[in-house]
């Protein structure tokens, strides 16, 4: 049975999901055809990363096709709406999607138009499914601080649609500190922030995310296990880790699923959450992520319930799941 249609033990929350990495392959193919884009290989070869990429850099090359076709408001809105539909099939009652609007201007689309398009698609998906959604905007480490401030200012202009700010990219190559002005704008406005850290680099990048950028959540955080003082900080301040097991193995952040640190960190009281990262790039669903954790690490239903409680507490949106979505999740099968 497809893991997306298995009856989950309860409503699920997904906190770490990239829009460009979660476009349905059929939609990528249709958009490429509509736009007259000739593909050199199959959509699956272009958009789905191998089980082991060896690095984050190689993993990110599989986002090139989605970014090429997501350059119009209608394409962005379609991708966002279909993601919400896929969440509903996956038993997700609250889904948070992030994207970098500054990457969608190749044909002249501005930041505001990109944000409005994704917000429109999410709203259409919510009306159709009852799934609650939240939109996060991503700054990029390799871009300038001024570009990140522009993204943060767009978030402020669309506070009715934007729930948080993110910083993505390879922390080995690009520190987060230069982007502090963008994050300071968010803190002054009371908008929460998450930062990719502890994925390509070690615990020092997580410390920077917390102490310099004021992150309330950490994207991945896989490499923080060797720093006891950091783990104490995560526990005491309830700073959630947005862990994505399949992706973490693909990028080389974790050696394999059996050696993924999520189970050990959960046992040590760290607020671990589980997400897909990029549903298409990783060829996964949230249901599949929990299934492989059960198979590789012996996770129990109680472990998943604990993870879901962490996700509810860490969500950048109201905490109570919508009744319609909860009921739908319980009757899937």
Sheet holding 240-243, edge to edge: 12-14, 92-99, 132-140, 162-168, 193-197, 217-220, 240-243, 272-274
Q: How far apart are the first and last CA of the chain?
A: 9
Classify residue 174 by its DSSP letter. Answer: S
Q: Which of 14, 82, 171, 199 is catalytic?
A: 199
Task: Give, in order, the Cα–Cα distances in Å from 155 to each of 119, 189, 274.
Answer: 12, 10, 25
Beta-sheet pairing, 217-220 with 272-274 = unpaired
Q: How far apart are CA 7 and CA 22, in angstroms?
A: 22
CA distance 121 to 269: 37
3-state DSSP call for residue 38?
Answer: coil
Tokens of 148: 């990140």
State pLDDT tens for residues 225-262: 999 999 999 999 999 999 999 999 999 999 999 999 99
| 317, 132 Cβ separation under 8 angstroms | yes
pLDDT at residue 318, as a whole number: 58
Confidence of residue 294 (pLDDT cuts 50, 70, 90): very high
Among the listed residues 34, 30, 66, 33, the one whose alpha carbon sits nearest the alpha carbon of residue 48: 66
Residue 167: pLDDT over 80: yes
**Gyration radius of the chain over CA positions:** 18
Quick one: average pLDDT of 109-134?
A: 97
User: Is the pLDDT assigned to residue 281 strictly greater than 50?
Assistant: yes
Active site residue 199: yes
Of residues 331, 275, 327, the one with CA closest to residue 304:
275
Q: Report the distance separating Cα 55 and Cα 2, nearest Å.
A: 29
**How sure is the predictor about 297, in pLDDT bands with cuts at 50, 70 and 90?**
confident
Bridge partner residues of 92 (DSSP): 12
d(CA 310, CA 276): 16
Question: Which residues neighbour 155 within 8 Å (Cβ) at sequence distance 6 or greater?
Answer: 115, 137, 162, 165, 186, 191
In sequence order, the β-bridge partners of residue 135 are 97, 162
Query: Which range, of 37-41, 76-80, 132-136, 195-199, averages the lowest pLDDT?
Result: 37-41
For residue 57, what pLDDT is reported?
A: 87
| CATH 3.20.20.140 holds for 12-315 | yes
């Amino acid at each position: 049975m497809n893991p997306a249609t298995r009856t989950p033990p309860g409503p699920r929350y997904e906190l770490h999901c990239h829009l460009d990495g979660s476009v349905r392959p059929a939609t990528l193919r249709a958009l490429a055809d509509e736009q007259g884009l000739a593909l050199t290989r199959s959509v699956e070869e272009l958009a789905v990363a191998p089980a082991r990429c060896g690095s984050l850099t190689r993993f990110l090359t599989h986002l090139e096709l989605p970014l090429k076709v997501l350059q119009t408001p209608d394409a962005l809105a379609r991708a966002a709406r279909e993601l919400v539909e896929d969440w509903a099939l996956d038993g997700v009652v609250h889904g948070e999607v992030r994207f970098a609007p500054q990457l969608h201007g190749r044909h002249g689309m501005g930041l505001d138009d990109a944000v409005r398009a994704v917000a429109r698609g999410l709203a259409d998906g919510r009306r159709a499914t009852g799934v609650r959604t939240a939109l996060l905007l991503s700054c990029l480490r390799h871009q300038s601080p001024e570009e990140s401030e522009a993204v943060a200012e767009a978030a402020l202009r669309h506070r009715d649609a934007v729930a948080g700010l993110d910083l993505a990219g390879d922390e080995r190559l690009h520190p987060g500190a230069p982007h502090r002005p963008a994050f300071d704008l968010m803190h002054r406005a009371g908008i929460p922030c998450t930062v990719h850290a502890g994925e390509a680099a070690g615990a020092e990048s997580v410390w920077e995310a917390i102490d310099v950028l004021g992150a309330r959540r950490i994207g991945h955080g896989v490499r923080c296990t060797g720093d006891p003082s950091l783990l104490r900080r995560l526990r005491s301040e309830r700073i959630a880790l947005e862990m994505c097991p399949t992706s973490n193995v693909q990028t080389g952040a974790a050696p394999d699923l059996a050696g993924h640190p999520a189970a050990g960190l959960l046992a040590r009281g760290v607020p671990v959450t589980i997400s897909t990262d990029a549903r298409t790039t990783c060829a996964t669903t949230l249901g599949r992520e929990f299934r492989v954790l059960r198979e590789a690490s012996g996770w129990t239903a109680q472990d998943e319930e604990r993870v879901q409680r962490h996700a509810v507490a860490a969500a950048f949106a109201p905490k109570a799941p919508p009744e319609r979505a909860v009921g739908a999740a319980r009757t899937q099968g």
